[in-house]
Amino acid sequence: MSTFLQNTQKIIEEAAEISGTNPGILAKLQIPEHVWEFEIPVMMSDGSEKKFHAWRVQHNSALGPYKGGIRYHQDSSLDEVSALASLMTWKTSLAGLPYGGGKGAVKVDSKTLNEMELENLSRGYVRGIFKYIGQKMDIPAPDVNTNPKIMDWMADEYSKLAGVWTPAAFTGKSVEKGGSRGREIATGFGGYVVLRELLANNQLPVTGLSVAIQGFGNVGSNIAKILFEKGFKIRAISDSKGALYEKNGIDVEMVLKVKEKTGIIDRKKCYGVESHDEPCRHLTNEDLLFSDVDILIPAAMEDQITLENADRVKAKIILELANGPVTREADAILEKHKIEVIPDILANSGGVVGSYFEWMQSLEEKYWSEARVLEKIDDKLCEAFDGVVSTKAEYQVSWRMASYIRAMLRVSRAMDLAQKKRSS
Ligand code: NAD
């Protein structure tokens, strides 16, 4: 079993024990309700056919239809998708949404495909899983290396197979194709809301604090932009090619401008600006984690802060915008150093909350302004944050444990009620 899945199972067991969850229910929560594993035959541009391995894991549906992203990554595995699907059950529960948890993945290095091959692969994924997804059954969304264009292809393929336009079967679509304003920035925006609430809770100022962000994709670049605008000092950023550090603060607007042209890591110029060579410097991806900052935001992949390197983290707050970036063993070390870790299921839940509002709009085919969507995400996350604060005080546990206990109580109550209904 992978470390990521082991960690997910461990935290569920611990939360079940502390919350007094019935062992029968815990046993059901430790295995997914359904696992779909299939091959996608894809017509390549040279006329050959290539097969790609794919999964959809449906973890739990006690609170509603399964909800969760689809990831394209060369290292994806069934263990990874299972852990991510389980995280979605806890995330949707904690946010008070009428959803269960699911996740999908294709084992592919999508950068090696051209646009036509990527479209064939995305449509093929939908054909492989069509019978088991749908607007009231399982609603996928984007994740690592998937984006609104891919969701548009998927929603279109689904609608063709269903014989009727069904935009609510996918979220994270482009606004032009029935997506929601504000959905693209929802995860980063939600991360900011949770951080703002935490700083207020800790009676710390909301501006001027220094930050390091690992990952500069959808989530990392959006949180960087928001925090930069709010007056935080973004000292370090990275993508899969490496990291940049500037003690006085990186000009995120400038990085965003050069990102498409040169990528954020330009060996000669830091981020496209010659004059930033000093004091701007390059770091390895791992070294970014040990930067001298107040807040560390992992926004790339799982298993980044581990037993081996947790001792070297200098930040006082870790905001988990990636899923599973801190292992359970690392958690114990960070706790010993009094570093507050705001867990993924709370910190990055702005994405699924944004998806929920997109789903509502798609079902009604009535669309809201960005300001309205962001205001609703803000309210929902404040409610979730306040809930975790009260559970934390009641059980005297860490942010992660309080979040899991709260999420588990809601899911296990729903499972208990369903069991009673069946036996009456
Ligand atoms: P993305 O594909 O848009 O971006 C991923 C970024 O991480 C890229 O910049 C990539 O270069 C970088 N990266 C990959 N490996 C890295 C490494 N080892 N070190 C530094 N950077 C690295 O993906 P995303 O949608 O931004 O997702 C990032 C994380 O956030 C994932 O864990 C995902 O599950 C989680 N998440 C995403 C959403 C969402 O709405 N997209 C919602 C909740 C959680």
pLDDT tens for the 424 residues of the chain, in order:
999 999 999 999 999 999 999 999 999 999 999 999 999 999 999 999 999 999 999 999 999 999 999 999 999 999 999 999 999 999 999 999 999 999 999 999 999 999 999 999 999 999 999 999 999 999 999 999 999 999 999 999 999 999 999 999 999 999 999 999 999 999 999 999 999 999 999 998 877 899 999 999 999 999 999 999 999 999 999 998 888 898 889 989 988 887 777 777 665 556 655 544 455 678 888 999 999 999 999 999 999 999 999 999 999 999 999 999 999 999 999 999 999 999 999 999 999 999 999 999 999 999 999 999 999 999 999 999 999 999 999 999 999 999 999 999 999 999 988 877 777 7
Q: Which atom of ligand 1 is nearest to the CA of 219?
A: 26
| 28 included as an active-site residue | no
From residue 363, give the alpha-carbon distance in Å to each of 129, 130, 135, 170: 21, 19, 8, 11
d(CA 236, CA 247): 8
- Ligand 1, atom 41, lies closest to the CA of 143
Residue 148 sits at φ, ψ, to 5 deg, of -55, -35
From the candidates 28, 50, 51, 103, give the one annotated as an active-site residue. Answer: 103
Closest to 73 measured CA to CA, from 7, 121, 134, 28: 121
CA of 110 to the centre of ligand 1 (A): 14
Among 301, 346, 357, which residue has the most ligand 1 atoms within 8 Å of its CB, making it the best to mutate?
301
- Ligand 1, atom 4, lies closest to the CA of 217
What is the rounded radius of gyration, in angstroms, for the C-alpha atoms of the chain? Answer: 21
- Ligand 1, atom 18, lies closest to the CA of 240
CA of 414 to the centre of ligand 1 (A): 32
